[in-house]
Amino acid sequence: MKIGAFEISEIITSEFGLDGGAMFGVVPKTLWSRQVGVDDQNRIDMVTRTLLLESADRKILVDTGNGDKWAEKYKSIYRIDWSRFSLVDGLAKKGISPSDITDVICTHLHFDHVGGNTRMENDKLVPVFPSATYWVQAANWELANSPTEKDQASYLSENWGVLAENGMVKILENEREFLDGIRFEIVNGHTTGQQLPIVSDGTTTLMYGGDLFPMKPHIPVPWVMAYDIEPMTTIAEKKRVLPKMVEEDWILFFEHDPNTAACKVVKTDKGYFGGDAVELDEGTR
Ligand SMILES: [Zn+2]
């Protein structure tokens, strides 16, 4: 799919599983278990999915997934599996090498979004994308580097420390305009300073759902994750963007939904829900 100057495609970079109760907050399992696959330890089937934006002079990634630096203990807690997918392999299938990537937009620095930023090479952390600038919002950068008790398990500096040492991180001070055709929706309910890219040419608009809309079942306003630091803020943020999505027929991209890469949003008298799936590209799944 093309939007303005950008060719849009998706790359699944890993499979994993997080606790279904944590993923759906106050929603009872009797409801969410009808919509997602769940294992005997209550983990639901999830993926990490990167958005690739290619123009004449940029190759931009939005988030990089779980990466492959995991110790066996955590790999098994989060059921992280990169045997079928990886970001570097997904790029190779498109004829792109890691050094071709010009920019990595980090929506926020939680491990399942930036784990693929760095890798181990001879016991040393190195950037996966050596020519890239990694973009992050200042508010998220500050929180990630001094997390609270609630979110310290999700912010692991191995995913960005070496990038900062090499001068590859650009901190954005609440800027919403990124490039011609790409702007950010900045949201603070899930974590502070999450930036969600919106790609638009004025006719077609795609929003990266990040952890505001991680999966298709998270479209209804009250379906909010227990991970969120300010759930009422998330609710207000969903209510702010959902009417625009329906009115302007946006495409919503899902980072974590194993079955749906993107869909339209519909409003009924019962609220907002996922509509028709949108096929972004062929041959990547
Ligand atoms: Zn997150």
- As given in the structure block, the two tokens for residue 27 are 């929603």
Task: Please give the sequence-ordered ranges of beta strands (E in DSSP) within 175-261, or none if there are none.
Answer: 177-179, 182-187, 194-200, 205-208, 251-253
Q: What is the pLDDT of residue 271?
A: 97
**pLDDT, tens only, 61-72:** 999 999 999 999
| C-alpha torsion sign, points 67, 72, 73, 79 | positive
State how far the alpha carbon of 216 is from the alpha carbons of 139, 235, 257, in Å: 27, 16, 7
Separation of 184 CA from ligand 1 center, angstroms? 16
**CATH fold of 2-207:** Metallo-beta-lactamase; Chain A (3.60.15)
pLDDT of amino acid 150: 87
Question: For residue 282, what pLDDT is reported?
Answer: 55
| pLDDT of the chain, 285 residues: tens digit per residue | 999 999 999 999 999 999 999 999 999 999 999 999 999 999 999 999 999 999 999 999 999 999 999 999 999 999 999 999 999 999 999 999 999 999 999 999 999 999 999 999 999 999 999 999 999 999 999 999 999 998 899 999 999 999 999 999 999 999 999 999 999 999 999 999 999 999 999 999 999 999 999 999 999 999 999 999 999 999 999 999 999 999 999 999 999 999 999 999 999 999 999 999 999 975 444
Ligand 1 geometric centre to CA of 269 (Å): 30
Measured in angstroms, how far is the CA atom of residue 257 from the centroid of ligand 1? 14
Q: How far apart are the CA of 192 and the centre of ligand 1, in A?
A: 10
- Cα(108) to centroid of ligand 1, in Å? 7
Query: If you measure from the C-alpha of residue 56 to the centroid of ligand 1, how many angstroms do you get, rounded to a whole number?
Result: 31
Structure confidence at residue 259 (pLDDT): 96
For residues 144-164, one letter each, b for 16 or more C-beta atoms within 10 angstroms of the residue's C-beta and e for the rest, the string is beebeeebeebbbebbbebbe
Upper half-sphere CA count for residue 203 (Cβ side, 13 Å):
4
Domain extent listing, the chain: 2-207
